Amino acid sequence: MKYECENFIVYSGRFEVNTTIFKKLGIVIDPNVGKNVYENVNQVLITHGHADHFGDAFMLKNKAKILAPRSELPFVENPEINWRGMYSWAKLPEKVVTPYFLGRGVKVDYFSDEMEISIKMPGHTPGHTAYLIDSIFVVGDAIHSPKCWEKFGILYYVDPRLMAESINAVKDLDWDVLVLGHCDIIDNKKEGIKIMKYNLKMLEKVDREIYEFVKEREEVAECEIFSHFAKKYNFKGIRANLVIMPPIRGHLSDLCERGALDMFEKDGIIMFRVKSHYKSILN
111: Cβ contacts below 8 Å, ≥ 6 apart: 67, 68, 69, 70, 73
- Give SS3 for 56: coil
93: Cβ contacts below 8 Å, ≥ 6 apart: none
Domains in the chain and their CATH numbers?
A: 3-203 (3.60.15.10), 209-274 (1.10.10.10)
The model carries a pTM of 0.96
**pLDDT values of the chain reduced to their tens digit, one per residue, 283 residues:** 688 888 899 999 999 999 999 999 999 999 999 888 999 999 999 999 999 999 999 999 999 999 999 999 999 999 999 888 888 899 889 899 999 999 999 999 999 998 999 999 999 999 999 999 999 999 999 999 999 999 999 999 999 999 999 999 998 899 999 999 999 999 999 999 999 999 999 999 999 999 999 999 999 999 999 999 999 999 999 999 999 999 999 999 999 999 999 999 999 999 999 999 999 999 8
